[in-house]
């Protein structure tokens, strides 16, 4: 009687394998050689020609979890984040060119004789008036970049300050070249100093609503294909330090203006700065925040654009209607009536230009693959 090498049970004489476990008998170390060139034996029986068996679909426990960034509705926008640099460069170039030609156009308005050619005079005056919303848009663009750009730390601040310096340089260069006959260099330097010193305080007034939205609701701009931020903090320690530094610099420059820069004019400058800052904060809440919501939210919806357009145009149309009724009663001739009506409609043109030039870049950035999200997403 032989014994199994694996389980130790007794095996019948001449048995090749153990009936209990299938092991080989003790002392049998021979291995049957297999010819690699020989084809495997054919499967006997009806299963040889049977069709392949289709297994049941896997259950939810057997399926590996899908990574969120793999689920991207690519048909909803042009492509993953790309070409956004073209949009940003276009905005920068438009702002630089507008600042260079701003004061030459203002000079043409001063030289126009509205009595001899009122139509041409009104056209040039309209072109000059449209530069004011462009100036406001430049401030809005730089401030939005410094607050909400999807970069961290030095790159975001460096790019924002570089664009701001470029636009300010073009603006003051055009002003000094066009107004050199009326303003001496010393007075021009004082005006530049006052303007630059007021900008950080105005930026703080603009950014306060956005900082509150970031801290309380987790507002951020990021690629559409990126997964949820999870428990990532809305404001990091570096962001808080930057905000603190900006506020400190703004308050320091305001104190510098009030105490040393302008003798006897500090109170007036502080009052105007407070009024402009309040106007900027209200404008951010009523205009910039809705435009961000309408232009960058994902997925896009037409009703958002309609609501934002109505929010801007309805009050403007009411103002134009009131101004038009006053112009009709105050005019003494057709040309004067035309001039008053055209002047009354200028706010509508300015608001329309501001709204268009703010929404179009935001929609273009969304089409490039970026969107606005908040903490729950």
3-state DSSP percent of the chain in helix, strand and coil, to 5: 65, 5, 30
Q: What is the mean pLDDT of residues 165-182?
A: 83
Within 10 A of 109 (CB to CB), how many other CB atoms are there?
15
Distance CA 373, CA 293 (A): 9
Q: What is the mean pLDDT of residues 187-199?
A: 78
- Partnered with residue 59 across adjacent β-strands are none
According to the 3-state scheme, what is the secondary structure of 152-211?
CCHHHHHHHHHHHHHHHHHHHHHHHHHCCCCCCHHHHHHHHHHHHHHHHHHHHHHHHHHH
Q: What is the pLDDT of residue 350?
A: 83
Residues 6+ apart with CB under 8 A from 21: 4, 6, 7, 9
pLDDT tens profile 209-233: 999 998 888 888 888 877 655 545 5
Q: What is the pLDDT of residue 293?
A: 93
* Contact (CB, 8 A) for 265 and 193: no
Distance CA 336, CA 209 (A): 43
Residue 56 has pLDDT above 60, yes or no: no
Helix (H, G, I), strand (E, B) or coil at 25: strand
pLDDT tens profile 64-108: 444 443 334 433 443 445 678 888 899 999 999 988 888 887 777
Q: What percent of the chain has pLDDT over 90?
A: 13
**CA distances, 307 to each of 222, 235, 290, 312 (Å):** 24, 30, 9, 9
Q: What is the pLDDT of residue 281?
A: 92
Query: What does the domain layout of the chain look like in residue ranges?
Result: 92-112+136-223+230-373
């Amino acid at each position: 009687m032989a014994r199994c090498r694996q389980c130790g049970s007794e095996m019948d004489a001449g048995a090749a394998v153990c009936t209990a476990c299938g092991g080989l008998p003790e002392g049998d170390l021979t291995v049957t050689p297999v010819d690699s060139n020989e084809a495997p034996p054919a499967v006997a029986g009806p299963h040889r020609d049977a069709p392949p068996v289709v297994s049941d679909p896997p259950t939810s426990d057997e399926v590996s979890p899908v990574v969120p960034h793999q689920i991207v509705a690519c048909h909803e926008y042009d492509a993953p984040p790309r070409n956004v640099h073209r949009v940003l460069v276009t905005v920068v170039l438009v702002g630089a060119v507008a600042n260079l030609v701003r004061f030459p156009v203002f000079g043409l308005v001063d030289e126009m004789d509205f009595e001899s050619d009122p139509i041409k005079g009104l056209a040039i005056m309209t072109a000059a008036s449209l530069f004011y919303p462009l100036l406001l848009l430049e401030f809005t663009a730089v401030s939005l970049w410094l607050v909400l750009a999807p970069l961290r730390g030095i790159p975001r601040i460096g790019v924002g300050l570089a664009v701001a310096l470029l636009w300010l340089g073009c603006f003051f260069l055009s002003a000094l070249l066009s107004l050199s006959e009326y303003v001496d260099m010393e007075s021009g330097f004082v005006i530049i100093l006052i303007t630059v010193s007021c900008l950080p305080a105005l930026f703080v007034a603009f950014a306060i609503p956005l900082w509150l939205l970031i801290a309380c609701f987790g507002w951020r701009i990021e690629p559409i294909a990126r997964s949820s931020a999870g428990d990532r903090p809305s404001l990091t320690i570096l962001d808080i330090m930057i905000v603190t530094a900006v506020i400190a610099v703004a308050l320091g420059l305001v104190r510098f203006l009030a105490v040393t820069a302008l003798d006897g004019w500090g109170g007036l400058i502080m009052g105007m700065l407070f009024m402009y800052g309040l106007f900027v904060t209200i404008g951010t809440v009523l205009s910039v925040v809705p435009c961000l919501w309408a232009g960058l939210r994902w997925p896009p919806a037409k009703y958002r654009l309609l609501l934002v357009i109505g929010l801007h145009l309805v009050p403007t149309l009411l103002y134009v209607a009131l101004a038009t009724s006053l112009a009709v009663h105050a005019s003494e001739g057709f040309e004067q009536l035309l001039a008053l009506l055209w002047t009354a409609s200028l706010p509508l043109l300015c608001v329309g230009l501001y709204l268009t030039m703010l929404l179009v870049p935001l929609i273009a950035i969304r089409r490039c693959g970026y969107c606005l999200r908040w903490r729950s997403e």
